[in-house]
Amino acid sequence: MQNFAAQSWDIAQLLLGGYLERIGENGAIAPIGGETTRTDESGHIAHALAVYHSMGDRSSTRVVDLVAGCIASQFHFNEQDVGGCAHAALALLTMGLNPSRNDAWSRFQEETQKIIGSWLRKPLQVQPHQEVFRIVHAIVGHGLGFQSADNSDKLIEQWLNRAKAGSTGGFVDSSFRGIGGRYDGAALEQYVLVREALQRHASVHIRTRRLPSIRTYMQRYLKLILDLVRDDGTAWAFGSAQGCTGTIYTISFLVRAFDDGWIDSDKTDLCADVLRKLVQHLFMHYLDQGSSSLCIRDGERDADVEETTSVVNFDAIRQFLFWSQLTKDSKISLGAVGSGSFGTSAKYIPFDHGAKAEHGLLVYRDALLGLSFQLPLIGGNGDGTSNCGAFPHCPGIFDTPVNKRLSVLVPELTFGDKVSVPSFYGKNVSTSLGPRKEFQFRYEQPELITIDEVLMLNVASCKVLWSFVEGKVIGEFTYVPKRSIRLDSFRFACVVSSPHSRLVLPHMPFLGENGLRPQILRDDFQGEWQQVYDLTEDPSYRTHGGKIACLYVYARLLALHLRPGVTYCFSISFEPEVVRG
């Protein structure tokens, strides 16, 4: 991987050169393109610069001054942001273990030293999904001598126990509101941060002892990544790890797995092939060498609202530097990316099988279309966007808008002020082969759930059946009311996107002129197709990869009184025309 190591180092310097002069005295960068500066931005910048200082020219006083300024800014102005302070603290530890010999510490004013010291001494209060910051807090506090006892070992154990208790499959639930069960790629970013902190740990014994236990849980994600990554390098098509950031941390996860010796010899070539696809996707789809930046937003694509260009770029700089360091002596080859061939297959990965809710992910590969669909049955953290909807996610074919509260590819039933969608949880989840050898995925919802992830008790039940056969995708949704109730509206929407005008990667799928070719198979709600909405020029409707061209809506806008015990079914099929880049 020597070429990859050198390339990663060169790109880190390229990105850094484009941002160094833009860092202000307050440790932040002026917002780009209408973005809003994040409260943790200074911490992320400090962390990246500290890693660069530790690996690069340690004599650069300019970089040391910037690290100290960003750390001070984070603690002075945004001490309540535990994530930003955790990154800033890890940056401080990276500059040196002993405060008396720490280049950044000597540049702080006495007031700043007191604020940082107080933060590192006091117990850190966090929400459950932020436990990794407590681990960082403990490692830095002990490493710099502000905590006499080292609690990091116990906190890592608690973090792993939470994954064990919160998931029968051993996956990390990153939700903090809603019905819970948000199992997505956010866990990879947590792991990478813990691994970086352990690398700075003062005790080699704890680092050596803890890595095997972490590996036990994180290897589940290694298997999951191998199932997810497509030929064009797209990995996570659902949840909070989509786009540039998700690709970066998926690459970091694999690089760490290679470096820590997780990967068995019989999986080496497969993992290397997946890694090279991810790297090509990142470099070709996001790296703009003309502006010396990773571009996550332009006139044709968008990113999650909480992501800023500055934070993404400085996180990328940090990871590129680690990639360069960790792969320098590796003998794994990253050659040219070729198109893989695969047969039709289906795999259901159970995340959690609880008494009240079941969560999991269906991955289906269609040999006829040459596509991979991801159908998540997970919580959405109550944000109401469609990125966790229980339907086939396939960028370029079955797309969803970024940052939009829009139900896509699932029925939306409105009862007064409550809007229900058959997503976020299931019961009696099962997979099977149908009579025509179609693969079937089914689940039930004993109680409907709103788009805000609140159960609607004693309204109706819902059964969902997805079928995949010979290039067709069929969704069937059956509702049985529990009492007489007024349905104010029924709505089913699907979006058609267009590929990016410049960034179409090899093997990347997108829709041909005939689009999705939807066909209503059964409709007991008596809806009809509405006027097509042209969204080509609407900047609020973008995907992570390109524009949304239009929105198709099938709806009943008049009220319908549902009768208890009567079955109401809606079924629709899609036969997308697929074109490749």
Q: Are residues 572 and 452 both part of a single domain?
A: yes
Distance between CA atoms of 46 and 103, rounded to whole angstroms? 13
416 and 351 belong to one structural domain: yes
CATH number at residue 85: 1.50.10.10
Domain contains 96: yes
- 104 and 71 Cβ atoms separated by less than 8 Å: yes
DSSP codes, 468-510: EETTEEEEEEEEEESS-EEE-EEEEEEEEE---SS---TT-EE
Instruction: Answer for the pair 348, 376: CB distance below 8 angstroms, yes or no.
Output: no
**Can you tell me the distance from the alpha carbon of 121 to that of 250, in angstroms, rounded to the nearest whole number?**
33
Angle, helix 41-55 to helix 82-94, in steps of 10 degrees: 20
Q: Tell me the CA end-to-end span of the chain in Å, nearest whole number.
A: 27
Residue 416 lies in a domain: yes
Domain shared by 285 and 349, yes or no: no
Q: Indicate the number of domains in the chain.
A: 2
Q: What is the pLDDT, as a whole number, of residue 166? A: 82
Question: Is 466 contained in some domain?
Answer: yes
Q: Are residues 323 and 387 in the same domain?
A: no
Closest CA to 238 of 393, 451, 441, 403: 393
**Integer Cα distance of 536 and 550 in angstroms:** 7
Query: Is the domain of 294 the same as that of 356?
Result: no
Residue 126: its pLDDT value, please?
87
State whether 196 and 288 are in the same domain. Answer: yes
Whether 337 is in a domain gets the answer no
Give 123's DSSP letter.
P
> Does a structural domain hold residue 564?
yes
**Tokens 């030293």, residue?**
113
pLDDT value, residue 336: 62
Q: Beta-carbon neighbour count of residue 526 at 10 Å?
A: 9
Nearest to 253 by CA among 205, 204, 220, 206: 220
Clarify whether residues 316 and 350 are in a common domain: no
Of 164, 325, 357, 326, the closest CA to residue 260 belongs to: 326
Are 349 and 227 within 8 A, CB to CB?
Answer: yes
Find where tokens 């208790």 sit: 165
Cβ-based burial of 123 (10 A; exposed 0-12, middle 13-18, buried ≥19): exposed
Name the residue range of residue 192's domain. Answer: 2-327
User: Nearest Cα to 278, choosing from 324, 310, 244, 320?
Assistant: 244
Structure tokens belonging to residue 240: 């909070």
Are 67 and 173 contained in the same domain? yes
C-alpha to C-alpha distance for 365 and 229, rounded to whole angstroms: 11
CATH number at residue 534: 2.70.98
* DSSP-derived 3-state class of residue 433: strand
Q: In this predicted structure, what is the pLDDT of residue 162?
A: 85
**Domain closes at, from 262, 297, 327:** 327
pTM: 0.95
Please give the Cα distance from 431 to 415 (Å, whole number): 31
Same domain flag for 302 and 448: no
Distance separating alpha carbons of residues 89 and 330, to the nearest angstrom: 30
Query: In this structure, is residue 332 part of a structural domain?
Result: no
Same domain assignment for residues 109 and 158: yes
- Separation CA 251–CA 188 (nearest Å): 10
Asked which of 297, 327, 357 is the last residue of a domain, the reply is 327
73/36 same-domain check: yes
Nearest to 460 by CA among 555, 571, 358, 564: 564
Work out the angle at residue 165's Cα, subtended by the Cα atoms of residues 160 and 167, and round it to the nearest 5 degrees. 95
CB 574 within 8 A of CB 472: yes
Pairing label, strands 509-511, 560-562: unpaired
The whole-angstrom separation of Cα 362 and Cα 107 is 53
Q: What residues in the chain have per-residue pLDDT under 70?
A: 1-2, 57, 59, 335-342, 581
Task: List helix spans (H) across 122-242.
Answer: 131-143, 152-166, 186-199, 204-228
Token pair, residue 511, equals 């829709």
What 3-state DSSP class applies to 231? coil
Indicate whether 335 belongs to any domain: no
For residues 265 and 350, state if they share a domain. no
Bridge partners of 540? none
Cα 215–Cα 218–Cα 222 angle in degrees, nearest 5: 115
In a domain, 334, yes or no: no
DSSP reduced 3-state for 363: strand
DSSP string, 285-335: HHEETTTTEE---SSS----TT--HHHHHHHHHHHHHHHHHHHTT------
118-124, long-range: CB < 8 A, 24+ apart: 119/75, 119/79, 119/85, 119/89, 120/89, 120/144, 120/146, 120/147, 121/146, 121/147, 124/82
Would you give the DSSP letter of residue 530? -
Boundary (domain end) residue, out of 278, 299, 327? 327
Residue 25 is predicted with a pLDDT of 74
What does the pLDDT read at residue 341?
Answer: 56
